[in-house]
A and B are shown apart, each in its own frame.
Chain A
Amino acid sequence: MTMKPLFLILFAVTSILKASNLQVSYQVQLFPPTDNNTSRCLTCHGMRGFAYKDSLEKVVNLYVDSTQFYSSAHSKLSCQDCHQDITQYPHRPTVGAKLTCNQGCHAFKDGKPYTHKEVYSTFLHSVHGKSLTGEDKDAPTCTFCHQGSAHLVQPINRIMTANEKMSLCASCHDNRQLMVKHHVNPDAVSSYKQSFHWKAVRYGYDRAAVCEDCHTNHNVLSPDNPRSTVYIANLPQTCGRSGCHPGAKMNFASSGANHLSWTVGKYKGLTYELWFYYVVIGGTVSALLIGVVLDVQRRIGFPKVVHNIAIEIGKLMNVLANLGVKAWKLIVYILIK
């Protein structure tokens, strides 16, 4: 009779002890910010397919490609340098969702603290800046041009040719509907493609100018804006940059040869010049071709059908010429009378 309570007490104590043992394995770990824990985070986040479904049943991708990350420009940073609200493991599922490129991180370059704040601010005040405030869904954000993700970003000049950079801008600026919707010149890309710069770039001559060389990449402003690199008074400086056309003055810089077809459309004289050539070339080539055919058919009589056609035309010409002479004589007679 006295044994039963003892067993109960023993059972309770051992259960409590077992339970407290399970608690110990969930002890919280704290990460010091300077410690590079990338490989630890990538243990889970580096697994392909690592994702979860949020409250709205939308799949949220949590995967970061390790190889690409380690060859990116941010490889020397730890995850926490940007994802600063991850301070412990395990971490809550919704932290780290809202990051911007201008936040201060614990990054250093050449011993000095490094930040994207300045570029961010410049971009914010450019024509594309409305993408950052969320006002314009069509405008590009940082990741639109920079490889789509901060985990993948690399220096653009190292991985893209001039041709590819142009295609990046053209991916929106060659879309007529999109450009008209935003009151942007829809002929920018097509007129550029008639310019000498494009011809060179197309053949792999990377030194020739593409969009960003004149319009800048982060500081794109309307040509009406006096702070724009393509504002009329600033053009000589933009064209005359070292490595481009040193010594450029206003007449040269305002030629508009960069966006050729648009410039031709603007100046009536240039449009006439173009049409002059269309007419002269068309007319001359036709006349020469006819001359060759006529010469052949007269000398060789080959092909016979062309020869016969020419003879018939000749007869018609004769008739018309005689009529013309008679009409002329009639007119002269009437006038004199």
Chain B
Amino acid sequence: METDSLHPYKVEFIRFSLNQRVQHFLLVLSFTLLAFTGIPLKFPSATWMLLGFNIGVARVIHRISAVILIGVSIYHVFYLFAILVKKEFKIRDAFTMIPSMKDVRDFLETTRNYFGLRSDLPMYDRYSFREKFEYWALAWGTVVMIVSGLTLWFNVAIGNIMPDWWIVAAYIAHSWEAWLAILAIIIWHMYNAHFAPGKFPMSKVWLDGKISEEEMIIEHPLEYERITGKKVDPKYRLELLKSQKWISRTRGGHTVTEESIEA
């Protein structure tokens, strides 16, 4: 929405708190380092990914990044527990990432929309089925990578107490799960964050935590309704969607609604 006399200011919503953004940044940092130092081990012909470092340095960087990832993961568990306490142990309120039947219905409806059987999109809440899929895929992947990675790191100590097939199982899991994670990030997350219409060249939400009202109405209308109390008109939403250009319009909100969305 451009500003005009009727709408003299743009509205932005704070979607991610500083705490969440720092967690995400550390995740990005460690994941990238792990990928760059790990891929040459899986595909020895990809030596360029070492960026000139020798393998001795690369394995040290890989382990340091792994420690960062483990640290962020452990912190995240405590963070979730803190939210649970804050929301007085009401799980559904606290954990907005938990999938439900609504997500399954949303997926089916969105598919029908993709194939032209429906003209409008279902009303997503704070986290659509896409984001929930990404979150839980990340959670699963991280657990597998940490367990198998620690096995390979402390191979003698862990190998001595586990059955003999454990090390090879960890080796397979570690190298293939990494490949799955990297491909999923490149194809899915990079699309949603960088190349999707309206997001190109990059969605800045991971840096300043804010998204525009337009994005809110299109992508998270149920949450928008809950916060502002205004009803979202599906036709208006569809028009917004159609008028969306590929390159994201610069956000320069003069007024920011302090709707801190600390989960």
Q: In the complex, which of the residues A248, A281, A313 has the most CB atoms of chain B within 10 Å of its own CB atom?
A: A281
Q: Which of A105-113, A177-185, A294-302 is found at the contact surface with chain B?
A: A294-302
A292 with B191, Cβ < 8 A, contacts A277-B177, A300-B246 known: yes
Q: How far is the CB of A127 from chain B (nearest CB, A)?
A: 25
Chain A 196-208 interface mask (CB, 8 Å, partner B; 1/0): 1001101111000
Given contacts A255-B168, A281-B176, is CB(A311)–CB(B116) below 8 Å?
yes
Q: Cα distance A311–B112 when bound, in Å? A: 10
B244 partner residues in chain A, CB cutoff 8 A: 299
Docked Cα-Cα span, A318 to B177, in Å, equals 36
* A225 CA to B159 CA, complexed, in Å: 25
- The complex places the Cα of A284 from the Cα of B188 at a distance, in Å, of 10
- Bits for A237-260, please: 1 = Cβ < 8 Å to B, else 0: 000000001111111101111001
Which residues of chain B are near A291, meaning CB under 8 Å? 188
Q: Is B171 an interface residue (CB 8 A)?
A: yes
Residues of B within 8 A of A246 (CB): 156
Secondary structure class of chain B's binding surface, majority of residues: helix
Chain B stretch 36-80: residues in CB contact (< 8 A) with chain A: 40-41, 44, 47, 54-56
Q: At the interface, yes or no: A73 with Cβ under 8 Å from chain B?
A: no
The answer on a CB contact under 8 Å between B197 and A251 is no
0 or 1 for each of A260-302: is its CB under 8 Å from B? (1 = yes): 1001100101100110010011001100110110111111100
Q: Are A260 and B116 in contact (CB under 8 A)?
A: no
Stretch of B11-19, B178-186, B220-228 contacting A (4+ beta carbons < 8 Å)? B178-186
| Cβ contacts under 8 Å, B163 to chain A | 251
Q: Please name all residues of chain A whose beta carbon is closer than 8 Å to the beta carbon of B159 when the two chains form the complex.
A: 248, 251-252, 255
Q: Which residues of A contact B117 (CB under 8 A)?
A: 314, 317-318
Would A289 and B167 count as touching, CB distance under 8 A? no
- Is A310 positioned at the interface, with any CB of B under 8 Å from its CB? yes
For window 147-191 of B, CB contacts with A under 8 Å fall at: 152, 155-157, 159-169, 171-173, 176-177, 179-180, 183-184, 187-188, 191
> For the complex, what is the distance from the CA of A249 to the CA of B162, rounded to whole Å?
11
- B41 pairs with A277, CB closer than 8 A: no
A245-B156, A274-B172, A284-B180 as given contacts; A298 in contact with B114, CB under 8 Å: yes
Number of interface residues of B (CB under 8 A): 46
A257 contacts B171, C-beta separation under 8 Å = yes
> Does B241 sit at the interface, judged by CB under 8 A?
yes
User: In the complex, what residues of A have CB within 8 A of residue B179's CB?
Assistant: 281
Complex contacts, A284 vs chain B, CB 8 Å: 180, 183-184
Q: Are B160 and A199 in contact (CB under 8 A)?
A: no
Q: Is the Cβ of B41 less than 8 Å from the Cβ of A267?
A: no
- A298–B113 contact, CB under 8 A? yes
Q: How far is the CA of A193 from the CA of B200 in the complex (A)?
A: 42
Q: Are A270 and B187 in contact (CB under 8 A)?
A: no
Residue B196 is within 8 A (CB to CB) of chain A in the complex = yes
Q: How far is the CA of A289 from the CA of B187 in the complex (A)?
A: 7
Instruction: Collect the chain A residues with CB atoms within 8 Å of residue B246's CB.
Output: 300
Nearest residue in A to B187 (C-beta to C-beta)? A288
- Name the B residues within 8 Å of A296 (CB-CB): 197
The 25 listed contacts between A and B (C-beta, < 8 Å) are A200-B55, A202-B44, A245-B155, A247-B157, A247-B160, A248-B159, A248-B160, A250-B164, A251-B162, A251-B164, A255-B159, A255-B165, A255-B168, A260-B171, A277-B172, A281-B179, A284-B180, A285-B183, A288-B184, A294-B114, A295-B114, A299-B196, A299-B197, A310-B115, A314-B115
Q: B-contacting residues of A (Cβ < 8 Å)?
A: 196, 199-200, 202-205, 245-252, 254-257, 260, 263-264, 267, 269-270, 273-274, 277, 280-281, 284-285, 288-289, 291-292, 294-300, 310-311, 313-315, 317-318
Known pairs A248-B160, A270-B165. 5 more at Cβ < 8 A? A203-B44, A203-B55, A274-B176, A288-B184, A314-B114
